[in-house]
Structure 1
Amino acid sequence: MDFLRNLGDIGLFIHAMIDAIIFPIPALFSQISLSTLSPERAIWLATIGFIGCIIGTPIGYGIGRASGTLVLSKMMKKKWHDSATALFTKHGEAAILVGAFTPIPFKIFTILSGCLKYPLWKLIAYAALGRAAKFYAVGGLFYVYGRAAENMVDHVLTFIMLGLGVLIGGIWFAVRLVKKHRQKRTGAEAKGVQETAVGADVPAGE
């Protein structure tokens, strides 16, 4: 961590990138340290962290595709792995969004996505939403409140992330409901058409 901090902006970029690959400590810590030193650059630092994370995401995904099960078994307990796999299999998008802006190391979600062969473009899209929310929320606090934000992050950021989580979760849930409604309507219409066609084929009087 000290080595990465001494590298400044480059260190944050590297930290954010390897946070999505294999590093166990979230890049949030590097972002806070550098933002405390230069609050006026907080938005720029958030951008650096965000870009680093997005670049690292497909690399973590590739590790998951290649040997993810072995890697994850070394990184977490079996019960955690099983629970995460079950959650991801059932609610892939939600799992990525939640993992993207919580303190949970993001690499778990990138590697698990590769293990389960989740579409890479979806992983990057949802990761971008979640990680942008997290990096820019922290950057915004430091930009507005300066060094005082360091003491606010633990408390204020929790509420900001909770609010964003509810908002994103609500949007995700609404989209899912609309998709299910459309699928049911399409299925009902297809069934109606099929029944009509069968009725038309039956000779009169039968």
Structure 2
Amino acid sequence: MIQDLLNFLMDFGAWGLFFHSFLDAIIMPVPAFFLQVPLSFAHPSNALWLATVGYLACLLGTPFGYLIGKYVGNSILYKILKKSWVDSATQLFQKNGEAAILIGSFTPIPFKVFTIMSGCMNFPLWRLMAYAAVGRAVKFYVVGLLFYYYGRAAEGMVKDVSMYIFVIAVPILVIFLFLKKRWNKKKAGKQEPQDQIEHVAPRQADLDRTV
């Protein structure tokens, strides 16, 4: 049934990918990767255009997935996706929502899991959009660039593209988020003494007036 749907969407070319990618962020159980690859294989010269179409459609669909999570809840995830995918994403999100979205952009777990979960947990929509813009760009354009430059020979390369991206990009993201967290803690540490000084200063002024 899924293959029949992919074959049907493939007949519509870039529009089929747009529709698939849009729903990939909302409810489609199969990632857009599985349509982007055969379309890029059929038309390597259009691979970058297809990557752009898929990328923009995914970003347009992201707020809708977020709203589903916000108003319906993540129970819908268990109805449309594998329990193991949802459980893995939930654990990742509970540890660090930012890392979950970024890392989730590269994993085989459908991206809708993270858009819906972001809504369930009231994660800021603007942050979801920002992280989705980065993560999904990598996912779509790596495939597009490989087909654009290597033609149909890239088919073998993209089979494990998610694994390669995960191995290379995730450690970089983890380091970035770790440094960001340390910077925020250091900034908060500097702000706290300043707040205490500002809180004490008015009291001293009151004492001076009473004298």
TM over 0.5: yes
Question: Within 1, Cα distance between the matches of 2:162 and 2:25?
Answer: 21
Q: Are 1:137 and 1:157, in contact at CA under 8 Å, matched by a contact in 2?
A: no
Q: Are 2:106 and 2:162, in contact at CA under 8 Å, matched by a contact in 1?
A: no
- The letter of the residue matching 2:29 is P
2:3 aligned partner: none
- The letter of the residue matching 1:69 is N
1:111 is aligned to 2:141:
no
Cα-to-partner distance string for 1:54-97 (whole Å, 9 max, x where unaligned): 01101111111121233123245767656533432331111000
Normalising by structure 1, we get a TM-score of 0.87
What SS is found at the alignment partner of 1:68?
coil
TM-superposed deviation, 1:193 = 4.9
Cα-to-partner distance string for 1:80-126 (whole Å, 9 max, x where unaligned): 65653343233111100011121110111111111111111111111
TM-superposed deviation, 1:157 = 5.0
1:43 aligned partner: 48
TM-superposed deviation, 1:184 = 1.1
Structure 1, 188-197 or 143-152: larger mean CA deviation:
188-197
2:157 aligned partner: 152
2:24 aligned partner: 19
- The letter of the residue matching 1:148 is A
Question: Within 1, Cα distance between the matches of 2:195 and 2:61?
Answer: 44
Gaps of 5+ in 2: 1-5
Cα-to-partner distance string for 1:134-181 (whole Å, 9 max, x where unaligned): 101111111111111101112455223421222233222222211111
Normalising by structure 2, we get a TM-score of 0.86
Gaps of 5+ in 1: none
Query: Equivalent pairs: percent with the same residue?
Result: 49
Structure-2 change in CA distance of 1:95 and 1:132 (3 Å):
same
Structure 1, 39-48 or 84-93: larger mean CA deviation:
84-93
Structure 1, 153-162 or 96-105: larger mean CA deviation:
153-162
